Structure 1
């Protein structure tokens, strides 16, 4: 598997933990994983990105137009990071719908055959009284798609193994909420 995944959002959304989950799952499948993170003013809600490459890659940074997958844990970060997706790439976005995407961006997405899949992970996390599990909800949502390269059983095992004991049940619940999400808004 040669897959490049970019995760983006703001500080405090668990982007680095999400990267760790996806990386560990790929390693358990026998793949090489390299990556890099940028933190901006992450402690104050600033932009955070994590580059993750699975397979035969040498440099850790994803070039614009090369990412297979994009996880966007804060919907407005899509505008700064959308250009990383390659033609035919897929983005998973924490948003109730994609109405916030302007028509000119939609035209670009169509021209490059980029698919965005959204779900309101942050609202679901708030219903659990656990806003920090939105990352796990979005990963669960992604793993429910047949074309996602890491399968849900493997991800569930990784979450069980690497979650701190005091958060394990809550993290697994967040992942399950994402798995159960049925409405799939795409453009």
Structure 2
């Protein structure tokens, strides 16, 4: 896959997962690389569990909006939200998503049911050029904190080869935007996320 300096990334998850933090780090990394960046919060809920959607557009886009069929990369922090966001994916787009679900309140209360993960994965593969599901929460724990799942996904995103920068830029941005006590955990997280994608590729 060839890296490009003009790309649209659609991010989706639920409140409490650090989706907006990941958006800010991704946008800042592009800025640190000297690239033009437009970013925005499409839909956000302050309370834990609410849907959060955001965008990062790199390469001179004027609007932060991404319409259906325009996202080159879909970064999903929760598989059900990844499923809901598939219409945003452009032809030839790539999905990078957590494989670990966070049960919505309606499901926890027995009012609704979630589709099996296998069905979500199959639908994603039918829409995308490539799909990478990684156990982001579990890998975050391995890095040192479950909250680092968002950085696991950023590392995985960089590893698919479409972003105009790699892990070294992401690591430098983490050092300049986060408190020093968070550096080691989050840098380890992006490395584990990248490794997960490399393993995924080697299995095919």
TM-score under structure 2 normalisation? 0.80
**Which portions of structure 1, spanning 4 or more consecutive aligned residues, are displaced by more than 4 angstroms?**
none
**Deviations 1:77-120, CA, capped at 9 Å, x for gaps:** 01221111100001101016x623275x35742xxx53211111
Q: What is the SS of the residue equivalent to 2:69? A: coil
Aligned pairs, how many?
A: 183
| Structure 1 equivalent of residue 55 of structure 2 | 51
| Equivalent position to 2:199, from 164, 183, 187 | 183
| Structure 2 equivalent of residue 142 of structure 1 | 157
| Structure 2 equivalent of residue 87 of structure 1 | 91
| Structure 2 equivalent of residue 101 of structure 1 | 120
| Structure 2 equivalent of residue 23 of structure 1 | 27
Unaligned segments of structure 2, at least 5 residues? 101-116
Q: Which moved more, 1:159-168 or 1:33-42?
A: 33-42
| Structure 2 equivalent of residue 116 of structure 1 | 131
| 2:73 pairs with 1:69 | yes
CA distance in 2, matches of 1:93, 1:128: 18
1:148, CA displacement in angstroms?
3.4
**Cα distance, 1:58–1:148 mapped onto 2, change above 3 Å:** closer
Unaligned segments of structure 1, at least 5 residues? none
CA distance in 2, matches of 1:57, 1:141: 24
